[in-house]
């Protein structure tokens, strides 16, 4: 049975070879954009390390307890730690105590630490000793959106697996293999910017198209509003509810804005880059007419910085309000 991943073939080959050689590293860091496949790849690696009945090392049988339970997060030898909304030092200390135990069923004790860039400084420092002096038969799998968001000492003790967006053609074909109509598969591959997880979510959750439309309507509102109107919009964007929900909501909106502004930037410099939002560009024609490319670059930079601030747990409302002050007025 294959690992059933979309793209990242080089990373799969590398990880399989580590299993074949019986020399997996004690720690791996999977880095890349959100929804590009970091967690899925790490989970498949944990399955392959734990599989009891594979035809050959590095493969998956698909039917043993490990192959069935690892994806569900219930296999006893695979620990899972995710931010809620962040990873704290007590979480890491409890994990270290569990990793000190011998494997129950498989040959390895494995820990998947998801979005470790959201760990507190004290939690990251607590993990350092485990990275520096790994216990026998322990493999750590960390994921993060960028290695620059982690302590350099953490990064230096891991085998870094950088994951980039999958090509539009590869992603479209993979979606068609999953019974998506060719035209829709092409559209999803473009809109998702090469991120398989995002494309699959958009296919299974049609309401995400409505959220995209709402996000771009909000952008249009911001461009034509005065400061008071923009701050009212910022308040609506953040909304109410638990912080993780607010953060996901804001992040989704800002990523949609960034995707469109990149299209506008490339268009301004006449770059031969296919637009990610060809269906929406006509609605922002006035931006092309009134905002010079250098200023469009400034907006792209401001959006990227705001997204990074959101990932660093900055105050959401202040971050969005600061962004509103940097957007051009395009009535």
Report d(CA 259, CA 256) in Å as an integer.
5
Q: Give, for 15, the enclosing helix (H) or strand (E).
A: helix 9-20
Q: Give, for 35, the enclosing helix (H) or strand (E).
A: none
Is 192 in a helix, a strand, or coil? Answer: coil
Q: Is residue 245 part of a domain?
A: yes
Domain limits at 295?
A: 206-326
Query: Which long-range contacts does 93-98 make (Cβ < 8 Å, 24+ apart)?
Result: 93/126, 96/126, 96/127, 96/130
Same domain, 177 and 217: no
Same domain, 320 and 285: yes
Same domain, 220 and 288: yes
Same domain, 101 and 193: no
Question: pLDDT tens across 194-222, in order?
Answer: 999 999 999 999 898 899 999 999 999 99
Indicate the number of domains in the chain. 3
Instruction: Tell me the pTM.
Output: 0.85
Q: Is residue 195 part of a domain?
A: yes
CATH number at residue 290: 1.20.272
Q: What spatial distance separates the first Cα and last Cα of the chain, rounded to whole Å?
A: 56
Same domain, 210 and 193: no
Same domain, 244 and 279: yes
Question: pLDDT tens across 41-90, in order?
Answer: 999 999 999 999 999 999 999 999 999 999 999 999 999 999 877 899 99
Same domain, 151 and 175: no
Q: Is residue 115 part of a domain?
A: yes
Q: Is residue 4 part of a domain?
A: no
Question: pLDDT tens across 177-200, in order?
Answer: 999 999 999 999 999 989 999 999
Report d(CA 219, CA 51) in Å as an integer.
48
Q: Is residue 38 part of a domain?
A: yes
Same domain, 19 and 84: yes
């Amino acid at each position: 049975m294959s690992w059933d991943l979309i793209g990242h073939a080089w990373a799969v080959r590398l990880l399989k070879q580590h299993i074949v050689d019986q020399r997996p590293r004690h720690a791996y860091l999977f880095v890349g954009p959100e929804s590009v496949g970091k967690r899925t790849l790490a989970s498949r690696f944990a399955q392959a390390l734990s599989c009891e009945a594979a035809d050959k090392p590095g493969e998956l049988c698909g039917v043993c307890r490990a192959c069935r339970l690892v994806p569900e997060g219930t296999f006893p030898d695979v620990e899972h730690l995710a931010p809620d909304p962040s990873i704290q030092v007590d979480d890491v200390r409890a994990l270290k105590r569990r990793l000190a135990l011998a494997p129950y069923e498989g040959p390895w004790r494995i820990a998947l630490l998801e979005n470790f860039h959201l760990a507190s400084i004290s939690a990251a420092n607590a993990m350092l000793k485990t990275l520096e002096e790994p216990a026998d038969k322990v493999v750590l799998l960390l994921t993060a959106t960028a290695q620059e968001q982690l302590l350099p000492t953490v990064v230096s003790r891991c085998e870094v697996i950088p994951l980039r967006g999958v090509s539009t053609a590869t992603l479209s074909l993979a979606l068609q293999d999953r019974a998506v109509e060719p035209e829709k598969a092409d559209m999803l591959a473009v809109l998702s910017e090469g991120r398989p997880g995002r494309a699959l979510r958009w296919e299974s959750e049609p309401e995400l198209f409505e959220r995209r439309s709402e996000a771009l309507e909000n952008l249009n509102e911001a461009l034509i509003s005065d400061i008071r109107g923009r701050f009212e919009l910022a308040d609506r964007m953040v909304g109410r509810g638990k912080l993780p929900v607010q953060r996901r909501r804001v992040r989704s909106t800002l990523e949609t804005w960034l995707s469109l502004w990149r299209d506008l930037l490339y268009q301004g410099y006449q770059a031969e880059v296919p637009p990610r939002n060809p269906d929406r560009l006509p609605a922002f024609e006035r931006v092309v007419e009134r905002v010079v490319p250098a200023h469009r670059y400034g907006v792209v930079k401001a959006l990227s910085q705001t997204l990074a601030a959101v990932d660093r747990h900055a105050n959401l409302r202040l971050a969005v309000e600061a962004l509103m002050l940097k957007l051009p007025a395009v009535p």
